[in-house]
A and B are shown apart, each in its own frame.
Chain A
Amino acid sequence: MAEENKTDVIVVGAGPAGIACAITIARAGKQVVLIERGKFPGSKNVFGGAIYAQPTREIFPDFEKTAPIERKTIEHKYVLLGENDGTVISYRENSDENVSYSVIRGKFDRWMAQEAVNAGVTLVEEMVVRDLIVENGYVKGVKTEIEDYYADIVVLADGVNSLLARQIGMRGKLNPEDVALSVKEVIKLPEDVINSRFNVESSDGSIYEIFGGPMLGILGLGFMYTNKNSVSIGLGVALSDLIEKGLRPYELLDKLKAHPQIAPLLKDGELLEYSAHLIPEGGYKKIPKLVNNGVMICGDAAMFVNNMHWEGTNLAMISGKLAGETAVVALGKQDFSETELSHYTEKLENTFIINDLKTYKDLMSGISERKKEFLGYYPKKINEFFKMFSTTESIPKREKYHKFIKSIFTDRKLSDLFKDFWAVIKLLWSILVK
């Protein structure tokens, strides 16, 4: 073992989890090498997206002063699309407390990584870790295309596909229902056009969370985020549904962009970039074994995504920080056993990360079982209600109400209605009580 190729900790993957982990270790005065396969951090990453101020401040206390931020979110719109119509619930508040900011990963991840380098992290770019070095039951380092590197601890923050966690048996096989395939387009529009179309000032932005439309009846959601000079629009659909229905993801996105409720917002925009990425959706039941001798897993690689609330980067950052803190203590004791590193798991269990994943552990399967109803029939029905309520055709209102209520009982079998009701109760129970 060449001594120059040995460091305290190697972190694989310079995304939010890996960077948060590496910077935590470097700030404690330990040696850490952060390996990124892309040309620069962020160049292989795609998200909605927005980052959250509070968890980001935990890693970068003053990030708002220097980080490349696009817009501060002042509005969340929940958009329920029918075939051609749509109903929108909008929540708007302009405050600085616990806000989120839209960012471009190619800029923001790069900024975070530079902060890490400034704190003493050694960043290695354009290098793929192909294998882990395991000796006497301990992970001892990594094999890259160029050479082998050794460390007391290896942290896997290598993203949703985490081939490394799979290789050493810490993670099982992922099935199509455990991931969503997301496609996204970033569409260039002049700043003032965005401001007027989305009714915001230059520094402020809006997030659209889109249900239905081309995804009526399938397990998929759309999103739209305003950046400074562009709008990001995309969708994520359970891979199992794409397979089952033989759908092409970019065709769904084209339909979403053409929806009458969306198209005017993007009119005359120029496509800057198309991208795709997987989202880990397996939740609590698919969390891998998080620690083993000499190794910990964080971020997407650990399935840390809260799909109900569109959260991922925050779970990544906090899990990375906790892995980093655990590594620092382990280095102090020179104990890299699974028992010592298990403090990482214990810490995680006391945070929102594991608690939230537990809260929603039955959500996806619950919705998936009745997706035709919850993501198809009801969104259409809600739009139908508002159509009935907002149109005038010289028919007495009571007659219209009666007709609408009757349709709920005649559209489908009564037993289906009962099943829906029961499924909602079960879901609420699992989220609020169990």
Chain B
Amino acid sequence: MSDLENKLYTVKYTPDSESHLLPVQECCRICQSKICTVICPANVYEWDYDKQKLIVKFENCLECGACRIACEDSSLGWCYPKGTKGVMFKQG
């Protein structure tokens, strides 16, 4: 396991079946920096070169909102997961 996987392993989640993070793939394709794949503290975003598509591991999301603000052209659809879903910090 990578260092980050070890960290995320300690976080309690109740994942939803659908994503609360909705990138506009046409915008991602032309995005130069793909900065969400770097700054996200849970490494939720990964660029699939073969499929030319942004993969979103939304179930790992820590709900900080950094990607929403960092998104180069503000195209990322971002909302909170449903009330019963998402991250649950015990030690915040």
> Is B truly associated with A?
yes
A interface residues, Cβ below 8 angstroms from B: 37-39, 42-47, 104-106, 125-128, 130, 144-145, 160-161, 163, 173-176, 178-179, 181, 183-186, 230, 232, 239, 242-243, 246-250, 254, 271-278
A247: chain B residues at CB < 8 Å are 38-39
Assess whether A271 is in contact with B66, with CB atoms less than 8 Å apart.
Answer: no
User: Chain B 52-79 against A: per-residue CB contact (8 Å), 1 yes, 0 no?
Assistant: 0000000000111110111000100001
Chain A contact residues: helix, strand, loop or mixed: mixed
**A289-B67 Cα distance, complex, nearest whole Å:** 24
Tell me if B10 is interfacial: C-beta within 8 Å of chain A: yes
Interface majority SS (helix, strand, loop, mixed), chain B: loop
Closest B residue to A38 by beta carbon equals: B88
Residues B83 and A275 in contact, CB atoms below 8 Å apart: no
Evaluate whether A44 and B83 lie within 8 angstroms (CB atoms) in the complex, with A173-B74, A278-B66 already known.
no
Q: Are B89 and A43 in contact (CB under 8 A)?
A: yes
Closest 3 CB pairs of A and B: A274-B7, A276-B41, A105-B92
Q: Which residues of B contact A173 (CB under 8 A)?
A: 74
**B84: min CB distance to chain A, Å:** 5
Task: Report whether A239 and B70 are in contact in the complex, using a CB–CB cutoff of 8 Å.
Answer: yes
Contact B41 A181 (CB under 8 A): yes
Q: A42 to B14, alpha carbons, bound, how many Å?
A: 16
Of A45, A176, A275, the most chain B CB neighbours within 10 A belong to A275
Question: CB < 8 Å: which of A38, A127, A186, A242 contacts B39?
Answer: A242
Residues in B neighbouring A106, C-beta threshold 8 A: 89-92
> B69, B79, B84, B88: which has the most chain A beta carbons within 10 Å?
B69
Expressed in whole angstroms, the Cα–Cα distance for A186 and B90 within the complex equals 10
Interface size class of B (residues with CB under 8 A): 35 or more
Complex: A273 Cα to B38 Cα, angstroms? 21
A255 to B33, CA, bound (A): 24
Contact for A276 among B6, B64, B70, B91, CB less than 8 A: B64
- Also in contact, A37 and B80, with CB within 8 A (given A105-B92, A181-B64): yes
Please name 6 further chain A to chain B contacts, defined as beta carbons within 8 Å, in addition to the given A44-B89, A176-B69, A246-B38, sorted by A numbering. Answer: A104-B92, A126-B84, A179-B66, A181-B64, A239-B39, A278-B69
In the bound complex, how far is the Cα of B92 from the Cα of A232, in angstroms? Answer: 9
- Taking the closest CB of chain B, its distance from the CB of A75, in whole angstroms, is 22
In the complex, are the beta carbons of A278 and B92 less than 8 A apart?
no
Given A161-B68, A176-B70, A271-B7: A46 and B92 within 8 A (CB)?
yes
Chain A CB within 8 A of B21 CB: no
Question: What is the bound-complex CA distance between A44 and B8, given in angstroms?
Answer: 15
Interchain CA distance A163-B39 in the complex, whole Å: 21
Given contacts A243-B33, A275-B62, contact A45 B92 (CB under 8 A): yes
Q: For the complex, what is the distance from the CA of A38 to the CA of B64, rounded to whole Å?
A: 14
Contact indicator A278/B65 (Cβ below 8 Å): yes
Given A246-B38, A247-B38, A271-B6: A186 touches B66 (CB 8 Å cut-off): no
B70 to chain A, nearest CB (A): 6
A128 to B85, CA, bound (A): 10
- Quote the shortest CB–CB distance from A135 to chain B (angstroms): 23
- B3, CB-defined interface residue at 8 Å: yes
Cβ contacts under 8 Å, A47 to chain B: 92
Q: How far is the CA of A173 from the CA of B65 in the complex (A)?
A: 13
Q: Which residue of A lies closest to B71 (CB)?
A: A176
Inter-subunit contact B7/A181 (CB<8 Å): no
- B73 → chain A closest CB, angstroms: 12
Q: CB distance B69 to A44 under 8 Å?
A: no
